[in-house]
Structure 1
Amino acid sequence: MIDLYYWTTPNGHKITLFLEEAGLPYTIHPVDIGKGEQFQPDFLRISPNNRIPAIVDQHPKDGGAPISLFESGAILQYLAEKTGLFLSSDLRLRTQTLQWLYWQMGGLGPMAGQNHHFNVYAPEPIAYAIDRYVRETARLYGVLNKQLSGRDFITGDYSIADMACYPWIVPHERQGQDLNDFPNVKRWFERIAARPATQRAYALVQDINPVNAAHDEQARKILFGQDAKTVQ
């Protein structure tokens, strides 16, 4: 059994995509980040960076005590290694998949996240910041589009690299991107969206967070008012 500490963000969706694809039993523990639930001591013991997602694997592969993990990329890699799914054992394919997983973690996610912030959540528009992150997001879409040329998925077969990237492409309109400009990404995106496991994973939103509370003022203060004192 996997205990999943989750909210309905792109990083949260990565893990539900894997769990639904793999058929692993899991229990969701919602962590409403707009209400500050990520600062509860019980959660911080699992995720010291006060971010979702996090998991506790109650039955790890070695048969020992439960293992907790934070950081979505680390969780995807752990689950892939636990199950033997969505990460090839072939050295070259495995290396390529991990490269694209880390590309998402270090590039697509952070840049699209800043895009979201300045386009949607900032209290006032800052033209330079909006232009900077919309352009960088477009560059990254272009990189992904090139990689997907002649491929159904990022490294051939469906993998944790696809699960990492897909949720960050879902809000492409909010990022100022038109998928028609990236035909390989569009084809890939539609293929993943049609997967039953993807549809089950995203259906969870209606049960857990049907209204995006991150738009209210109190939630913005909690989400965007953090500094070093927050973690002391």
Structure 2
Amino acid sequence: MIDLYFWPTPNGKKISILLEEAAIPYKIKAINIGRGDQLTADFLKISPNGRMPAIVDHDPIGGGSPLTIFESGAIMEYLAEKSGKFWPKEPHKKYDVAQWMYWQMANQGPKMGEQGHFRRTANAGKNGDQAYALLRFDNEVHRIYGVMNLGLHKKKYLAAGEYTIADMICYPWATTWQNRNLDLNEFPNVKRWLDEIGERPAVKKAMAAGPEYREDPASVTPDEQARRSKLLTHQRAQAVPKEWS
């Protein structure tokens, strides 16, 4: 059984898509990132980066004690290896997949995340002039969709000529194109790919998960809002938790 430490964001849904596609039994352990669950002493033992997703495999490859993994790319490579699915072994195909995995983690996710951050910051109206940040990351996100459009030229899938973890890792972020100052019609290959991947039953199930974990914003008291803001805004290094001593 896999414990999946999850919150319904694109990063969380990368892993649940693969678990559903590979039919690997798993149990969701919700990590409310708005509340700060990711910064607790217990979770930092699993993910010292203080970010979800993470997994604990209680029946790991090769046996032995439970295996913990953080970082979505490493998790997906492990689960693909464990299941024997969605990551070809032939070197040309294997590294075609790998390069898209690392592209997603170094480019698509971070740049789109930063764009979202600065758009929210600008909308708040109390953080000064955000014009350069918006220009920078709007352009980067446009470039990123262009990279995918090139990668999908005359290809059904991103890598290896087949559906792989490369598609699964890129799909959840790519679905968030709305409100990103771009026209998806500029990227017809991406649009076609999104439509096709989105029709897969496992993808539909994984993408639908989430509303049951979210809280009603009206239920969060002003004191709790202030606590969360202090905890989560402008994070710096975490001290070693005293609970670890």
Q: Same fold (TM over 0.5)?
A: yes
Contact 1:34–1:220 (Cα < 8 Å) also in 2: no
Structure 1 position 178, deviation (Å): 1.8
The one-letter code sitting in structure 1 at the alignment partner of 2:146 is: G
Matched, 1:204 2:209: yes
Task: Report the counterpart of residue 50 of structure 2 in structure 1.
Answer: 50
Matched, 1:119 2:119: yes
Contact 1:56–1:67 (Cα < 8 Å) also in 2: yes
More deviation, 34-43/119-128: 119-128
TM-score (normalizing by structure 1): 0.93
Distance 1:231 1:185, change over 3 A: farther
Q: Distance in 1 between matches of 2:26 and 2:217?
A: 24
Q: Deviations for 1:84-104, whole angstroms, at most 9, x for unmatched residues?
A: 111001110000100000000
Structure 1 position 220, deviation (Å): 4.9
More deviation, 94-103/195-204: 195-204
The one-letter code sitting in structure 2 at the alignment partner of 1:147 is: G
Secondary structure at the counterpart of residue 211 of structure 2: helix
Q: Distance in 2 between matches of 1:72 and 1:31?
A: 15
Q: Distance in 2 between matches of 1:70 and 1:46?
A: 7
Distance 1:177 1:212, change over 3 A: farther
Task: State how 1:32-51 maps to structure 2 within 5 Å.
Answer: 32-51=32-51
Output the aligned Cα RMSD. 2.0
Distance 1:192 1:50, change over 3 A: same
Task: Report the counterpart of residue 155 of structure 2 in structure 1.
Answer: 151
Structure 1 position 189, deviation (Å): 0.6
Could you list the runs of 5+ residues in structure 1 that have no partner in the other structure?
A: none
Secondary structure at the counterpart of residue 207 of structure 1: coil
Could you list the runs of 5+ residues in structure 2 that have no partner in the other structure?
A: 241-245
The one-letter code sitting in structure 1 at the alignment partner of 2:175 is: V
Task: Report the counterpart of residue 193 of structure 1 in structure 2.
Answer: 198
Task: State how 1:12-23 maps to structure 2 within 5 Å.
Answer: 12-23=12-23
Structure 1 position 212, deviation (Å): 7.7
Is the radius of gyration larger for structure 1 or structure 2?
A: 2
Q: Deviations for 1:22-41, whole angstroms, at most 9, x for unmatched residues?
A: 11100000000100111111
Q: Report the count of equivalent residues.
A: 230
Secondary structure at the counterpart of residue 86 of structure 1: coil
